[in-house]
Amino acid sequence: MPNQSIAISEAESRVMEVLWQRAPQASEDIVAALLSTGWHEKTIRTLLNRLLGKGAIAAQREGRRYLYSPTLTRGQWQSQESRSLLDRVFGGRLSPLLVHFSAHEKLSAKDIAELRKLLDAIEKKGR
């Protein structure tokens, strides 16, 4: 599990999604899963190498091939990305983000109920 933040591009996150769904996988399987994106095999292998270099995935040799597995969990990545978004766009504060979404996006009754439940839990925790 990596301790430092690992920056992952949008394209790299597509490769990570394949590995988060099932790991370990051989590069051939990852390539097959991503060919529908229109990417060439070389592009997918380049993305794998970048992710290896960043430490987001690990490779284990099995015979003549390598099996790839994520070292970064989806939850860790989501935490990093959401913290980065808050810091870059909303000054590190959550309330402006919620104000933005409530003003520019349609919140369903279920979304509102979940937010109320979350706020109640936060309030109780703070007491």
Structural domains in the chain?
A: 10-70 (1.10.10.10), 74-126 (1.10.4040)
- Rounded to an integer, what distance in angstroms lies between the CA atom of residue 57 and that of residue 16? 8
The answer, yes or no, to whether residue 4 has pLDDT greater than 80, is: no
Per residue in 44-82, pLDDT tens? 999 999 999 999 999 999 999 999 999 999 999 999 988
CB 75 within 8 A of CB 81: no
Q: And the tokens for 94? A: 């959550």
**Beta-carbon neighbour count of residue 80 at 10 Å?**
17
* Angle at alpha carbon of residue 16, lines to 13 and 18, rounded to 5°: 120
CA 99 from chain centre, in angstroms, equals 24
Segment 9-17 mean pLDDT: 96
CA 30 → CA 15, 36, 39, 60, 123, distances in Å? 7, 11, 12, 15, 44
CB 97 within 8 A of CB 81: no
68: left (phi over 0), alpha (psi -120 to 50) or beta: beta
- Rounded to an integer, what distance in angstroms lies between the CA atom of residue 60 and that of residue 26? 10
Segment 3-9 mean pLDDT: 81
Segment 27-54 mean pLDDT: 96
Rounded to the nearest integer, the mean pLDDT of the chain is 91
The answer, yes or no, to whether residue 2 has pLDDT greater than 60, is: no
